[in-house]
Amino acid sequence: SIDRAAEELRELVPQARICVAHGQMPERELEKVMADFYHKRYNILVCTTIIETGIDIPSANTIIIDRADKFGLAQLHQLRGRVGRSHHQAYAYLLLPPQSRLQSDAQKRIEAIQAATTLGAGFTLASHDLEIRGAGELLGDEQSGHMQKIGFALYTEMLDEAVAAIRAGRVPSIEAFADRAIEINLRIPALIPEEYLPDVHTRLIMYKRISSASDEDELEDLQVEMIDRFGLLPKQLSLLIQQTRLKLRASGFGIKKIDANVSSGRIEFNQHTEVDPFCLVQMIQGDPQTYKLGGANQLQFKHNCAHPDEKVVLINGILDNLKLNESKVA
């Protein structure tokens, strides 16, 4: 109990002046304890989460939170904010069981609260909390879940797509959303080098912006911005831009996956592809040594590209030869 915890502290630190506060105390008694602590008649307050909000004691500079793994992220943030409210250096100690006994969500909460140490970190913590617990159902009664399975970014992207579909008079379809997720693996060094952009946070933001580009104009504007901010693009980043441009082109053909190794590759179409099948037949008949079908939705090809740029040019050439089925486009 809280009284036993206070007794243990008195045994450990006999010279300390210790008081106890919790929500089951009579109102006047609780007010007196808090006033005495405020005026420094006591120097240690053993309490419950009753101090979470509405308490402002500038002289308090240390808080010890027992079994911090049992608290929510918002609670930890509020409790930590009870100290450091003046010019005094403040400390917040979170007491935890061995890591092997921590649940995964508790571990994520502790990592999030450790990372958020700057002023204005509340929004960052709220985003972490949204990731950990999930946002729940917008039109249902479940208050958490779902988002933690797919992540915040993908969740909001799927939500935007569903809203756009409803506004257009269509029924939202998870299959149609999945069909637009294109996987490209050309086995080329397509990345943002650390020496070009050393800051990890900025690098991740640029990765996100590149992958989220909706058309070639947006990608071109982003490329110009990066050159202006960070200098000429290194080869690896140029390949990343080219690969992303390839991905944008492929989305118009209903392509699901493009894969190419050192001597061969394959283009996999989704079930709703708008590519004219007669176009594929003509490609195969025109060069059977290079192209062949690998099932109903796959075009296989051979190549002898020795350089990463050559692979990109090759795939672009194949896309140039593809034609859309006019009946589907209409």
Confidence of residue 81 (pLDDT cuts 50, 70, 90): confident
Confidence of residue 277 (pLDDT cuts 50, 70, 90): confident
Confidence of residue 237 (pLDDT cuts 50, 70, 90): very high
pLDDT of residue 329: 42
Q: Which residues on adjacent β-strands are paired with residue 18?
A: 44
Pick the range with the lowest mean pLDDT from 103-107, 126-130, 208-212, 253-257.
Answer: 126-130
| Cβ neighbours of residue 318 closer than 8 Å, sequence gap 6 or more | 267, 283, 299, 301
Query: Mind listing the pLDDT tens digit for each residue in 189-213?
Result: 999 999 999 888 888 889 989 988 8
Reply yes or no on whether the pLDDT at 219 is more than 90. yes
Reply yes or no on whether the pLDDT at 145 is more than 60. no
Q: Give the 3-state secondary structure of residue 288.
A: coil
pLDDT of residue 142: 57
Pick the range with the lowest mean pLDDT from 86-90, 109-113, 156-160, 241-245.
Answer: 156-160
Q: State the span(s) of the chain assigned CATH 3.90.1150.50.
A: 181-329
* Length, in residues, of the chain: 330
Distance CA 313, CA 106 (A): 48
**What is the three-state SS of 190-248?**
CCCCCCCCCCHHHHHHHHHHHHCCCCHHHHHHHHHHHHHHHCCCCHHHHHHHHHHHHHH
Distance CA 277, CA 297 (A): 10
For domain 181-329, give its CATH number from 3.30.420.40, 1.10.540.10, 3.90.1640.30, 3.90.1150.50: 3.90.1150.50
pLDDT of residue 178: 60
Reply yes or no on whether the pLDDT at 232 is more than 90. yes
Reply yes or no on whether the pLDDT at 323 is more than 50. yes
pLDDT of residue 130: 66
pLDDT of residue 103: 87
The CATH architecture to which 2-101 belongs is 3-Layer(aba) Sandwich (3.40)
pLDDT of residue 330: 41
What are the tokens at 129?
């909390």
| Cβ neighbours of residue 203 closer than 8 Å, sequence gap 6 or more | 192, 194, 197
pTM of the model: 0.51
Query: Mind listing the pLDDT tens digit for each residue in 154-196?
Result: 677 777 878 888 888 877 776 665 656 788 999 899 999 999 9
Kindly report the average pLDDT of the chain as a whole number.
84
DSSP state of 49: G
Residue type, 271: Q
Q: State the span(s) of the chain assigned CATH 3.40.50.300.
A: 2-101
Distance CA 28, CA 318 (A): 81
